[in-house]
Amino acid sequence: MSHGDGGKKVAVGVGPTRVSTIRRVVSLWYFVVVVASLGILSPLPFVHAALRLRRAYLLLYVVLYGAWAYGLIYLLAPVDPESEPETVPAVLWFFGTIGLIAVSCVHLAVLRKKILYPPRTVWVESGMHCGLFSIDIAGFGQVGRSSDIFVQVRRMLFGLLANAFEASGIGWDVCLKRDTGDGMIVVVPPHFPKFRLLLPLLSQLAAELAKYNVVTDPALRIRVRVAIHAGEVTLDEYGVTGRPKVLLARLLDSRVLRDALAEAPEACPVVVLVSDRFHEDVQDQGGPGLDTMSYRQVLVREKETEVLAWLHVPTPVIRGLP
């Protein structure tokens, strides 16, 4: 993740681009030049790579490989034109040439891959309307939990959360994420439909957590509160801020959501509170299999905030247990 423009823009890599067969074949000229010239012209592909990747430091390799090639030429140049070529310089030239070709080709293979498959980026800027997802582990700091348990619980939750996002069609790697210690805030880029934050993400997360809780030690069991909202994000050098972020925090910490988790059956490890605006947008947007009727409207009063929201307790469907 990289920041720019004073922290008001964030780019997240989303994987390699597709490259045509023609481009892949044409790019093999790097290796053809090196092999055909017996390494003498090996600096040329590095000049091209430096220009394409806009990396000035690659010009250092132009100098190094150029010096190597010049050294090989020097080995073959006889001191006395009338004398017979010596065996030792010829052997050194042979192995030096093999080494130059091998090393430069391996190096060029790495640079060629960077040129052909540059990481694409999705920009999230201040003012973009993004989905906001916040999750918190209930009772994370309870007495009796060691630091090792904290690590195991966090690792398990974040792994299951990543799988749930991917299963819902939201690339985990393209989301902006902020660790909160006992949970996480996830900012979803605006090109993903909002309903994917609900379906099948929530049911997938609930099912996987329920399955995990059945087979794990009681001290490692996980129950979570989730808040979901959407709005125009504001980015600064510390991350995400603005009114949507504040409302998300109020929903997550609300007494309504805490009571809902306490009253939910032990087999239900997830309770969700969705903002009224998000719920309305998703109803208008629709989505295959989306059931907004399973959400109950509640009133949230937290600090200076008094808003309507929608409470949902996903019923986990556990598969794969013996």
Query: Where are the chain's structural domains?
Result: 18-117, 124-312
Q: Shortest CA distance to 91 belongs to which of 113, 76, 69?
A: 76
User: Which stretches of the chain drop beneath a pLDDT of 50?
Assistant: 1-7, 12-17, 321-322
Reported for 51-55, long-range contacts at CB under 8 A and 24+ positions apart, including other chains, are 52/115, 53/111, 53/114, 53/115
Q: What is the pLDDT of residue 157?
A: 95
- Which numeric CATH code is attached to 124-312? 3.30.70.1230
User: Is 222:156 a contact under the CB 8 Å cutoff?
Assistant: yes
Q: How far is CA 215 from CA 46, 212, 262, in A?
A: 55, 6, 21
Q: Shortest CA distance to 38 belongs to which of 104, 116, 89?
A: 104
| Cβ contacts of 63 within 8 Å, gap of 6 or more | 43
Q: Taking the model in full, what pTM does it have?
A: 0.64
Q: What is the pLDDT of residue 275?
A: 95
| Rounded to 5°, angle at Cα 187 from 185 and 192 | 140
Q: What is the pLDDT of residue 6?
A: 44
Q: What is the pLDDT of residue 225?
A: 97
Q: What is the pLDDT of residue 7?
A: 46
Q: What is the pLDDT of residue 74?
A: 83
Q: What is the pLDDT of residue 239?
A: 80
